[in-house]
């Protein structure tokens, strides 16, 4: 019996997305899943996971995520993380956040992530 949780599998799939392979991540979402992040509409309406993750990943030329905590209780998964990378503008960025996963069976029905978007704003000269 494997002790790997659905949240562990999601975290591993996020690493693959960082490396440019979104397929393992995308296959984990239920049809009609809702996805939220700070700079997107937080209406709770269903979104296309492929478009959601492509828009997120497109601002980076490189990206790496380290998880400080991966927890699962019932149908709720929690990821605490720090991501570092280089934006397509060439500027390095580092930011921390929390992501929440709500599962229905083995699929993610709701994904919400929270982080400080100030890390993406260029400092004034």
* pLDDT values of the chain reduced to their tens digit, one per residue, 125 residues: 468 999 999 999 999 999 999 999 999 999 999 999 987 666 656 679 999 999 999 999 999 999 999 999 999 999 999 999 999 999 999 999 999 999 999 999 999 999 988 888 876 54
pLDDT at 39: 77
DSSP letters spanning 31-99: EEEEEE-TTS--S--B--HHHHHHHHHTTEEEEEEEEEEEEEETTEEEEEEEEEEEETTS-EEEEEEEE
Q: Has this prediction a pTM greater than 0.85?
A: yes
Q: Which CATH number fits domain 6-117: 3.10.450.50, 3.90.640.10, 2.40.40.20, 3.40.50.1380?
A: 3.10.450.50
Which of 44, 22, 21, 16 is closest to 111 using CA atoms? 44
pLDDT at 1: 45
pLDDT at 44: 58
């Amino acid at each position: 019996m494997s002790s790997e949780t659905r949240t562990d599998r999601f975290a591993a799939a996020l690493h693959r997305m960082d490396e440019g392979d979104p397929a393992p991540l995308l296959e984990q979402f239920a049809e009609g899943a809702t996805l939220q992040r700070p700079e997107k509409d937080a209406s709770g309406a269903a979104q296309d996971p492929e478009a959601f993750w492509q828009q997120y990943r497109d601002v980076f030329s490189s990206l790496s995520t380290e998880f400080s905590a991966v927890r699962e209780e019932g149908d709720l998964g929690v990821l605490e993380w720090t991501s570092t990378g280089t934006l397509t503008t060439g500027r390095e960025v580092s930011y921390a956040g929390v992501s929440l996963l709500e599962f229905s069976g083995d699929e993610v029905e709701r994904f919400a992530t929270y982080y400080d978007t100030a890390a993406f704003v260029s400092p004034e000269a």
